[in-house]
Amino acid sequence: MKKAIIYVRVSTEEQAKHGLSLDAQERVCQKLAEQNGYKSVEIIKDEGESAGSINRPGLKRMLRLCEEGGIETIFTVHSDRLARNTEDHLAMQRLFSKHNISIIYALQPNIDRKTALGQTMDTVMAAFNEMQRLAIAEKTKSALEEKAREGWFPGVAPLGYANVDNPNFRNGEISKRIIVLDAPKARMVKKLFELYATGNYSVYELSDMMRKQGLRTKKGGLLHPSKIYEMLKNPIYIGELHWGDIIVKNAKHKPIIDKKTFQRIQTILDNHNHHTCRRRKYQFLLRGFVYCADCGKRLTAEWHLKKSGLKFAYYHCPMRDGCKKSNYIDISVLEKQIENKFKEIQFSEDFIKLVCEKARIILEDKKKTINADKRSLYNQKTAIEQQRDVAEQKLFKGILSDEDFTRNRIRFKEELDDIQSAIDKLDEQKEVKVDEIQKILKFARNIYASYKEAPYSLKRLYLGFFWERFEVKSKVIIKAEPTLLFKTLLDNHKVIINDSWGD
């Protein structure tokens, strides 16, 4: 026989403010219980009781009944009837989940649990997708970095160079595409640098001169002063490779400018404008997530230089007095505590199945899109090849001048190269996407391991997926507030909490 409880509560203030009365709460819950097939339900009331504490006679009785077993469903108007703080809320959810008790809120949107779960799934998948996007970006990033470390410029070739297939490419190597000198343009680039090195020309004058000489950007646009300025500062032209933090002094491409000229140019540039060189900051993982439990302020992170010369990073309360001292906490200590929080959570089996199915559908869709994109690129390629053939015929018939033909041929070549690299990119994407299901599954199956191995940006995303904020007191996280998404998952028993919470 199915048993259910209706729980109603009003606080003293609510009574004074004419909030939803006990009777009104009881009526809506009763109706809902009947709709769900419950004939007799026990009604538990807490009158003049605040939800701030769990020390309420009615609630205590209800929790005891839950512990004893036999309760199948609890009806209440809103989750705030049961608890107003996250710990209590989560503790109760845990208890309900342990005893297989469903909770149905009469005046909260998750009454229709199927729909609510559907919505949650979409949100979860959106979040997963975002995580995947980042994971792929990280993977691509590391592949490019690997290429850079080997001395091959991994990006789009700067003016004066061209991206081409490596003639000496062997399978398994990373340098399938490389940059080489684009001879006519390289000569003009060299001229540009030499002119600037005389100190007699501004970037504006050079922009004008280059326009007259026909040096244009890769897309055929004019060479703006800002672009020239950028070029003059780019050490790629002396054969160096700078990619993020990676610097390779003797890269595999040929230099266009000698070091002396380049150095002279840098001096001229420095004299012209005193731009500040911004150093990249250390990225504090928990920035924005951790708060001081005493004053509620967001903890700040900073470096401290010890007398020994070693640097230590800390999170601390920004207040000058009082809590600041007690909350001076080494970043690794706090980050470890957060990491351990992930040990406590796992998705339920049925949820993992749902995720798998959804991920499979998404993957199929993406593959379709990629294939469609590829087809359209191949069509473009064919069209350009046809144009090229027409141009050849015109040349033989004498309709097209030699000069025009050469110019066209270069343009066709560049366009074809661009299309080819776009096709290559799509193929790469496709490869990466095949791993996606695996990765999503891994995350779904082991949140903790996924978090632990994740790079910085992904870690922040995982954090934001589950937690709104953490409160820190005396160097310990005393409260973890879940996100709405996480809460919904908990309410639907899609996430299981393995361990004690918040203590």
Footprint of Zn ion (CB under 5 A): 292, 294-295, 317, 319, 323
Query: Least separation, in Å, of the C-beta of 297 and Zn ion?
Result: 5
- Buried b or exposed e, range 111-120, using 16+ CB within 10 angstroms: eeeeebbeeb
Instruction: Give the whole-angstrom CA distance, residue 152 versus residue 139.
Output: 18
List of residues 6+ apart from 219 with CB closer than 8 A: none
If 0-12 CB within 10 Å is exposed, 13-18 middle and 19+ buried, where does residue 283 land? exposed
State which residue, 175 or 326, has the beta carbon closest to Zn ion: 326
The catalytic residues are: 11
Beta carbon of residue 325, minimum distance to Zn ion (angstroms, whole number): 10
- Looking at beta carbons only, is 192 or 323 nearer to Zn ion? 323
CB of 318 to Zn ion, least distance (A): 7
What is the C-alpha to C-alpha distance for residues 403 and 407, in angstroms, rounded to an integer?
Answer: 6
Q: How far is the CB of 293 from Zn ion (least distance, A)?
A: 8
Strand order across the beta sheet in which 290-292 lies: 290-292, 467-473, 476-482
Q: State the DSSP H helix or E strand holding residue 264, giving kind and residue range, or none if neither.
A: helix 259-272
Question: Which of 80, 302 has the CB closer to Zn ion?
Answer: 302
Of 294 and 415, CB closest to Zn ion:
294
Give the nearest distance from C-beta 289 to Zn ion in angstroms. Answer: 15
Whole-angstrom distance, CA of residue 29 vs CA of residue 23? 10
Q: Least distance from C-beta 326 to Zn ion, angstroms? A: 8
Q: Where do the H-state alpha helices sit in 329-348?
A: 331-341
Instruction: Please answer whether residues 468 and 61 qualify as being in contact, where contact means their C-beta atoms are separated by less than 8 angstroms.
Output: no
Residue closer to Zn ion by CB (options 138, 294) is 294
| Range 91-95, long-range pairs (CB < 8 A, 24+ positions) | 91/501, 92/63, 93/490, 93/491, 93/497, 94/497, 94/501, 95/63, 95/66, 95/67
| Residues 158 and 234: beta-carbon distance below 8 Å | yes
Rank residues 291 and 486 by Cβ distance to Zn ion and give the closer one. Answer: 291
